[in-house]
Amino acid sequence: MKLSIITLTYNKLEYTKKFVTSLYKYTKDFELIIVDNGSSDGTVEYLKSLGVKLILNEENHGFSRGNNQGLELAEGEYIGFLNNDILLYPNWFEECEKVFETEKTAAFVSPRHVNPHYDNTDDKNYISFFKAAKYNKPYEKNFDECVFSCVVTKREVLNKIGGFDENYFPAFFEDNDIKYRAIMAGYDVYVANTVCFYHYGSITSENYDYNLEKNRNYYYSKYPFAEYLFVSGRDRDVYKRIAVDMSRFPMRACYSFFLLFRKLKNRLRKIFRVVKK
């Protein structure tokens, strides 16, 4: 088995059906592992009819825990983390695989992200829309554009850097975390410019309480220099070396103390305002 695909579901059955149809149309030689996080709209009954590897959680375990559960069942050399609200493109996996074959330091590769909120296309025309796009390179290093709505990695990479940090709940920043760990381990992350995927976007997440600020603070308490991943060229290499050097100093503890101090300061301000009134 070359490719194991892990997908999480939480209601939104109509989108899951579209995804599964697209997946089987444009993907070869794979196993599908679906982790359901407590759906109640008929999704579970539909998933049981597919004959795939299935994990049924009684409640929502979040993105990180759900994908880690799927990893326990995966048998492929390559691992794909794919949302249930996407549509795929012809030969999407083969093009991502070419990047791994060419770039031995590749840890994660994502097709180009087509989103109806930003791109002038829809779920019927996204393939012709993307065919008209022109890129100078077949692929490129890009931390931001390597997105985990549809991403491929290799088992050997995960064996080295580990799975998702389950402290991010229910979602957001866990993808940045695992990409950052890969880079610090000597890998790189890429986006393939020859293929895309269509992402409806925020279909499952629209009703979530993401604890976004909490997850953001946790991410930067772990990796204070992570923001410099968006710097390009020589400066990026310099900041990367700085980050490695500073990891030997207790920066995480210092940053955590700073966050605690800021939180206490804000609370004291509120108390003084109440007292003044």
Successive 10-residue mean pLDDT values, the chain, 277 residues:
95 97 97 97 97 96 97 98 98 98 97 93 97 95 94 98 96 94 93 97 61 88 76 53 56 59 75 66
The answer to whether position 227 is within a domain reads no
Domain of 181, in residue numbers: 3-210
The answer to whether position 228 is within a domain reads no
Indicate the number of domains in the chain: 2
The answer to whether position 215 is within a domain reads no
For 187-215, how does the pLDDT look when each residue is reduced to its tens digit (9 = 90+)?
Answer: 999 999 999 999 998 666 555 556 888 99
For 38-67, how does the pLDDT look when each residue is reduced to its tens digit (9 = 90+)?
Answer: 999 999 999 999 999 999 999 999 999 999
21 sits in which H/E element? helix 13-26
pLDDT value of residue 248: 52
The answer to whether position 20 is within a domain reads yes
| CA distances for 46 relative to 8, 155, 247, angstroms | 14, 29, 47
pTM, whole model, 2 decimals?
0.83
pLDDT value of residue 191: 97
Q: List the CATH number of the domain containing 75.
A: 3.90.550.10
Q: How would you write 77-93 as a 3-class SS string?
A: CEEEEECCCEECCCCHH
The answer to whether position 86 is within a domain reads yes
The answer to whether position 8 is within a domain reads yes
Regarding whether 264 and 202 lie in a shared domain, the answer is no
- Choosing from 156, 176, 210, the residue where a domain stops is 210
User: How many whole angstroms separate alpha carbon 22 and alpha carbon 16?
Assistant: 10
The answer to whether position 139 is within a domain reads yes
